[in-house]
Structure 1
């Protein structure tokens, strides 16, 4: 049986030791710097493309909903980030969310809750890949519609084909970048590309709309309600734009086993990416509200299919709009690369613990491609293509991709934070980043917001009187995922799923490492198995050998 790769080749001793204390061998190569960890989250968020993709949520509430909705909701998301940063600094591992859930939960609930969170997070990330790439397809096609002056009318089949091409192009890029070990550096490139696009928009829109810009009073105080809901609820629905946009910060957790000095890089990445999107997104919303048409209904029903395309068109004409929308969809394409990386790491971690179907296959690492889980990259891509078939049905079904991402990840973020508050306060051992006496109040506030935002994502955006075409299928899709995961657990998985596994070779543990593991209570339930393994000289890796793909 092949042994795990020597940890000293893949990581510094302190990072490998931190992982060993959680029971895992170092199998991935740590080549992400602190800034690159921030970069992968910021690249997934893809600030301006994401705002453009979600204007349909914020425009119905008017400039007030767009601008102040962004500011308030982003602040709430930052609170969630603080709660997650506490956990990420203390226990940085690729499967962090379900690992923390198992660690903090009461013995009676830890296995089913960990299983549920792992599936919800995995499918939520794959859903995020779907929604990003579907948004890319819509933006690319909107450029074609612009160029043909509306003569080209895309079908759902054409949109799906563009979507497929986008997904598989991501796989090729990830494979090539992993082979030459530049994936971390690419995140810096993606971050710069996002910042350049934002700067260009800050110049193009105000210059193009000079003399026609809206007043400060309009931008900061004008409200509207193009929904069938009361005014206040229409304002809350505008929060869906930042909730969807600033939803990639948990990628810092999933990349933690490839991060140098992960106990600091993970919280830095979480809070830095949220903070950047909070501030820059607020400015983006102000600029867009200042330069968009005051005929909000015409923006929502634009023949170009994207309100942002109409906003660019009004500012700089046809050719300028084509150029800006091209930059926009190219930046959206970069987002898909980064979220594919995050999704594959979560899927690999869950496979390492034996929870996903064909775990023995997907848990293998490819040395040829830079010690990365290449099989999981392909697995996530193929799963996204299957989920993407929803866009062939109807636009309401396609919006389920959005809902799967938001509600699925919200559950995955909520559960470990809640478990820590209710059952795990005594088990929590702070890392280098810690919010101190404010930690529990922050965690409680984060849980309240996550419940509210999940309910918000389940509401029909047009109003309470729905048709099959305007129905919000979030509750249907996510209850199917959650119910299916729990049914799978209680029918079959409860017989063999015992939570996170010990994959480190017990013979390689020093007495000091074993003592530290128990002192930190990171693998408290596995102490006997570790000690037994050392006495008998057995390999605790469970056959998690490294395979070439």
Structure 2
């Protein structure tokens, strides 16, 4: 007889073996009850994935990284490289998502793929993934809040950029998405479809205005102009790689829709496709947007040294010659980016809840509860929202330090992809018969695609912590590496003190055909 018990979150589970048809999965804990309501269909799921990345919108906000290190040619070829790399990662993770789509995602897969030490590996993976996503959802409030300040500078050149105002604007940007996630959860699917339409429609409108009004740069300027030496980096490869931050960050987060899997209908089929379609759509759109911006940009130095803090604001103003037109075009990018925060909050909330459900967090009993009225992990949402508000105070002390947090989110995410992908390759080479077949399979391309994904993720992870400027000072230092190192040490310490006693691995449950 299998022993049944009542979990802290109110769902019945029983301990016992669950095996795939070919014996791939070993002993796990089976969750008997679906806790979250499935309300997202295929279209809303694809829209969720596409809007969550908000790639072309955030590519405009992060344009300075590429202009400072590499210039137009580095941006163009960098977004191509970033799209191909992230598409390889999305395809590889999609195979795993089709086997078991779950809010915990990476730490679930690492547990089942690890040949040994699976409890520690999955626990460590969970901490890195949760922290990276908590930092990632700070990007939208920061970009939008500081871009609002930049537009104020454009309107009133005498206005002084003050850091504490950026913090207040971050709060203002984040409050409504938090409220929507609490009180309007049922219409989130409709919001995603509407946001997906805006995400797609606003792009050609923005490009058309720029192309019609702006003078055109020659082809050589866009495709062959490489700018080096501005930042102190001299080596061609180093300049290009360091400048990739501006095109890597907008495509980071390909796993976002996976964490909503327990609220997606027919998740084993829908989630893998949504990941791939969302990544492909965003990569193509970002490429088109950046090409248009580079063809239409005016004075390079004026854009790079813009008093607004954002080259894209100056580029749009140079192109249109009109401040009202600049406000409108910037709003067309900021609005979908803001709605992407709705998605990001929902995704990281489910991830945090899943980790707490499995006793990964301190005070897991408290954070694992699903609110019976709102039918969401309300306490996990408040925890994530608290992280946004807490991290926003860093802006007051140092913008460079906060930028490191943003770099940290991207770096941490690629490391979170690397762990299960490396374990998957090891499994393919040592025991391929133990890998179950899901609804999505790369077939014979599986191993080559996994290796390409690992290559890209490793390359991105190596250069993301690099400082953008030489010589390195306390002000321009990229603190992403040290901060992530601290998070990893904290995860190891938590394992020694608490995790090894509490963490038994992720909980799972069998899926019905209708799910």
In the superposition, the TM-score normalised over structure 1's length comes to 0.85
State the 1:92 CA deviation: 0.8
Q: Does 1:389 align with 2:396?
A: no
Contact 1:347 1:376 in 2 (8 A): yes
Task: Give, in whole Å, the separation in 2 of the partners of 1:197 and 1:481.
Answer: 38
User: Is contact 1:42-1:248 (8 Å) kept?
Assistant: no
Trace 1:409-448 onto structure 2 (pairs within 5 A): 409-423=413-427, 425-448=432-455
Worse overlay, 320-329 or 84-93: 320-329
On the 8 A contact 1:47/1:194 being kept in 2, the answer is: no
| 1:227 and 2:231 correspond | yes
Give the one of 101, 104, 110 matched to 1:92. Answer: 101
2:334 is matched with which residue? 329
Match of 2:261 among 256, 273, 278: 256
Q: How far apart are the structure 2 equivalents of 1:252 and 1:259?
A: 9
- Which residue is 2:39 aligned to? 31
Would you say 1:194 and 2:199 are equivalent positions?
yes
The answer to whether 1:217 aligns with 2:220 is yes
**Offset at residue 450 of structure 1 (A):** 1.1
Using the TM superposition, give the Cα deviation of residue 492 of structure 1 relative to its aligned residue in structure 2, in angstroms. 2.6
Alignment of 1:42-121 (within 5 A): 42-60=50-68, 61-107=70-116, 109-121=117-129
Which whole-Å deviations, capped at 9, do the CAs of 1:416-461 have from their partners, x for residues lacking one?
Answer: 1111222464432121110011112211221121111111111011
* Aligned ranges 1:531-542 → 2 under 5 Å: none
Supply the RMSD in Å over aligned alpha carbons: 2.3
Q: Which one of 457, 461, 473 corresponds to residue 450 of structure 1?
A: 457
Unaligned runs of 5+ in 2: 1-5, 14-24
Asked if 1 retains the 8 angstrom alpha-carbon contact of 2:59 and 2:247, the reply is yes
CA distance in 2, matches of 1:147, 1:207: 23
Structure 1 partner of 2:21: none
- The alpha carbon displacement at 1:156 in A equals 1.0
For residue 252 of structure 1, report the CA deviation from its aligned partner. Answer: 1.6
Instruction: Report how far residue 402 of structure 1 moved.
Output: 1.0
Structure 1, residues 344-373: CA drift from partner, whole Å, max 9, x if none?
01001101101112211111112322x221
2:405 touches 2:479 (CA, 8 Å); kept in 1?
no
* Whole-angstrom CA distance in 2 between matches of 1:490 and 1:106: 21
Q: Residue by residue, what CA displacement relative to the aligned partner does 1:475-520 show, whole Å, maximum 9, x if unpaired?
A: 1111111111111112331122111136x6xxxx9xxx99x9xxxx
Cα deviation, 1:305-328, whole Å, max 9, x if unaligned, reads 111100111111212112222333
> How has the CA–CA distance of structure 1 residues 493 and 105 changed in structure 2, closer, same or farther, with 3 Å as cutoff?
same
1:164 and 1:80 mapped to 2: Cα distance?
33
* Paired position in structure 2 for 1:405: 409
TM-score (norm 2): 0.90
- 1:95-139 CA-partner distances (Å, limit 9, x unpaired): 0110001111123x2111111111111111110111221111111
Task: Indicate the SS of the match to 1:23.
Answer: strand
| CA drift at 1:213 | 0.8
Q: 2:56·2:282 contact (CA, 8 Å) conserved in 1?
A: no
Correspondent of 1:286 among 288, 291, 301: 291
Find the counterpart in structure 1 of residue 476 from structure 2.
470
Partner SS, residue 160 of structure 2? coil
1:4 Cα deviation (Å)?
Answer: 5.4
* Partner-residue secondary structure (3-state), 1:182: helix
8 A contact 2:103–2:354 mirrored in 1: yes
Secondary structure of 1:340's aligned partner: helix
Deviation at 1:84, TM superposition (A): 0.4
Task: Give the number of aligned pairs.
Answer: 487
User: Contact 1:140 / 1:329 at 8 angstroms: preserved in 2?
Assistant: no
Q: Secondary structure at the match of 1:458?
A: coil
Specify the alignment match of 1:175 in structure 2.
182
2:164 equivalent among 157, 167, 176: 157
Q: CA deviation at 1:384?
A: 1.7
Deviation at 1:191, TM superposition (A): 1.1
Rounded to whole Å, the distance in 2 between the matches of 1:162 and 1:292 is 28
Q: Aligned residue for 1:378?
A: 382
* Shift, 1:6, TM fit: 11
Distance change in 2, residues 1:425/1:486 (3 Å): farther
Higher mean Cα deviation, 224-233 or 31-40? 224-233
CA deviations 1:388-417 (Å, max 9, x no partner) are 222111121011221221111111111111
Large movers: runs of 4+ above 3 Å:
1-7, 423-426
- 1:157-214, CA deviations, whole angstroms, 9 ceiling, x for partnerless residues? 1110111222222211211211xx11112111111111222122111111111xx210
